[in-house]
Structure 1
Amino acid sequence: MTDPCLAHDRADERPLVLVTVGTDYHRFDRLIDWIDDYAGQRPDVRVLVQHGASRAPTVAEGVDFFDGDRLRAEMARAAVVVTHGGPASITEARAARRLPLVVARDPELGEHVDGHQQRFVSRLDGVGLVRNCADAHELAVTVDKALAQPGEFILEGTGHSAQERVALQAGHLIDLLMTPGTGGADRPLPPPVPDGPAQAWPDVTVVVPTRDRPDLLRSTLRSIATQDYPGTVLTLVVYDGTPPDHSLTQLAGDRPVRVLRNSLTSGLAGARNSGILAARTDLVAFCDDDDTWLPHKLRRQVEVMRAEPKTEAVCCGITVAYGETEAPRVLDRTAITFADLLRSRLTELHPSTFLIRRDALVHGCGAVDEEIPGSYGEDYELLLRLARRGPVRNVPDPGVRVLWHRRSHFSGRWQTISTALRWLLTKYPEFRLVPAGYARLSGQIAFAEAAAGRRTAALEWTMAALRHRGGEPRAYLALAVACGLPAETVLNALHKHGRGV
């Protein structure tokens, strides 16, 4: 079927002015008004606006969102490209060899969270990477000039200079760090969906990594089998070590279970990836072999995925079970950003709560990273990559019972934990720009080093944590352990309240 806009392109020989406001959830109606006024004065020019969350134009043509390929094609076709001050939009325009005309969002008008776009655009304008347009008249005059003198607005070559790469990378980072988490009031979850026919609900594959814990695995499989989800649920049990008893596959009733060996790197990361590669469904969920799902968990998450085709990952709250105590851990937010995850691990977003579009793992941000030492923190690192692409959605209710116990595969593996956390700091230098996040990881490393008996390293990382955040509690816990307090005593006290280091 022919795209009507593309068919229009072939019939319309007027020069194209493309305007894009990006995907930010803040409205940018001011730019829409300016460009509508321009379109009304210049019927000899075709004006196409990607308006996102803003109001649709009334004079110019309007499209809410473009996919990446369509956006690049329109930019290459356009005589002039106008963007908001987002680094991604500016980068795309320059990659299409168009000098972007940029209108920065103004936080005082509710168009963004702060003034970083204004500062960023001013710097780029100062070195000739964009044309900054501060008002409607300046924008109209600059568009007219670009149409009359295209040689000044078509860039030579396709590569970026070193100066341009540094400026645009800094802009991308600032945009990521300054985008706040959105509360439930800003982005309400979709309402529950009536049952309808089972075929209306997408098939889901649940990947369950396991290693020599058949009794716990039985409880996990029963909890998956008893989900109130109307659609098909397929479970892949991926094992390291001794193959599990295949009679476990009978526990799932009419929900099929398949057992396969981890064919990739030994450990959690390789096991999860073996399951992802073997899955043939659009949606993939994780559940560890010592956790159990509450009956409504999967249904409520899939409701979000059905209502929001662009959402790639959905999590939910947990209840932490430790000994005789149980403690709920639930975030009251429904959207989590990259910046949120740099500031805090948000342990409520446990891997056993993950529901992810398989395409995002295979063709998007990539699967679980198997280079992480010992696979420690592989779930957190995957969340960081997913959140870089778009907010991770969260159902603010407990959906998983997470068991903390001495049979955890990371219990007492302090050197592995320290090495993995240092690897994470190296892979994500952004932590150095977020004092709370850097202090948290440094404090965790200090605690692990102290528990491993490496007192000098523990003190070095303790000081690093305190330099970034004077009140970092993990640093003081690490000092206590370095001075002789048993690490197990600290952990037992924290676990009884559903907390960890």
Structure 2
Amino acid sequence: MAELVSIITPAFNAAKYIDKAIASVQQQTYPHWELIVTDDCSPDDTRQIVVGFAEQDRRVKLVAQTANQGPAMARNASLQKAQGRFIAFLDSDDWWLPRKLELQLDLMRCSGSALTYTQFRRVNQDGNNEGRLIRVPDRLTYQTLLGNTAIATSTAMVDRKQTGDFQMTKTYYDDFALWLKLLREGHVAKALHEDLMRYRVLRGSVSRSKVNSAAKVWSTYREIEGLGIASSSIHFSRYACNALLKYVRF
């Protein structure tokens, strides 16, 4: 029997882009999925757009927040509704290529890994001008992930049969914190060396501020992982080098 994949999508002011994200899920060659979009009280038409898709496709489901709580809590709201063994993440402004779920599930089954991730390309805000292929290391442990930027949220898939149920931590890099938590428990993340996701780079996005991002990574080390200053400094230097290599050119 085919395993259900639950796709977790937080959305806030995503009306310009979320149709592309949802359509990319509907175009997957693997059909056994549910897409759970949590609208975080968007003032635009995000909620109405999701409702329109849900009325045509029962696999698309809307969770409507009653108060804006940020992406981590929106992801948790979707996770609470998720029925699948496998959890995939897709941000509302990104999209997948058609064989993403099929190929990644094959890797999950063959490798036995609890967490997998793929290669991807960045695109500009309009969805054009594809950048270079972002390559990823073959595997990541807790120690190697501390100094790496390899797991893009919209490429990640988790096997809940191995990890058990989980929730996101309400922090700036809630995705990074989750990957670290899973690997800290002894799991190893495995890469799929296929180009399967498009990451939209939004002009003026807070996450594009390198200084702010650096501060949040440091905060993750110190406040969530509980690392000392010396250990944090070593991992941060590796993280910064990997980030520079990743973003030095589009």
TM-score, L = length of structure 2 = 0.82
Equivalent in the alignment of 2:237: 439
The CA RMSD measured in Å over matched residues stands at 3.0
Equivalent in the alignment of 1:320: 122
Equivalent in the alignment of 1:330: 135
Q: Following superposition of structure 1 onto structure 2, how do residues 353-432 of structure 1 map, counting pairs within 5 Å?
A: 353-359=155-161, 362-363=164-165, 366-370=166-170, 372=171, 376-388=172-184, 389-406=186-203, 408-411=205-208, 417=213, 420-426=216-222, 427-428=224-225, 429=227, 432=230
What's the CA shift string for 1:126-175, capped at 9, x where partnerless? xxxxxxxxxxxxxxxxxxxxxxxxxxxxxxxxxxxxxxxxxxxxxxxxxx
Residue pair 1:330, 1:396 contacting (<8 A) in 2 also: yes
Aligned residue pair count:
240
- Residue identity opposite 2:173 in structure 1: G
Question: Aligned partners of 2:92 and 2:20: how far apart in 1?
Answer: 8
Q: Following superposition of structure 1 onto structure 2, how do residues 172-251 of structure 1 map, counting pairs within 5 Å?
A: 200-229=1-30, 231-242=31-42, 244-251=46-53
- Residue identity opposite 1:321 in structure 2: V
SS in 2 for 1:344: coil
Equivalent in the alignment of 1:497: 249
Q: Does 1:279 align with 2:78?
A: no
Distance 1:342 1:206, change over 3 A: same
What's the CA shift string for 1:431-456, capped at 9, x where partnerless? 73476423256x6xxxxxxxxxxxxx
Q: CA deviation at 1:409?
A: 4.9
What's the CA shift string for 1:356-412, capped at 9, x where partnerless? 12355654xx42111x2xxx2221121111222211111011110111121535355
Structure 1: tracts of 5 or more residues without a match: 1-199, 444-471, 478-493
What's the CA shift string for 1:70-94, capped at 9, x where partnerless? xxxxxxxxxxxxxxxxxxxxxxxxx
Structure with the largest fraction of strand: 2
Question: Aligned partners of 2:187 and 2:242: how far apart in 1?
Answer: 30
Q: Does 1:295 align with 2:93?
A: no
Structure with the largest fraction of helix: 1
Q: Following superposition of structure 1 onto structure 2, how do residues 84-233 of structure 1 map, counting pairs within 5 Å?
A: 200-229=1-30, 231-233=31-33
Distance 1:496 1:223, change over 3 A: farther
Residue pair 1:263, 1:270 contacting (<8 A) in 2 also: no
Task: Point out which structure has higher relative CO (alpha carbons under 8 A, 6+ apart).
Answer: 2
Residue pair 2:39, 2:47 contacting (<8 A) in 1 also: no
SS in 1 for 2:105: helix
Q: Does 1:351 align with 2:103?
A: no
Distance 1:473 1:396, change over 3 A: closer
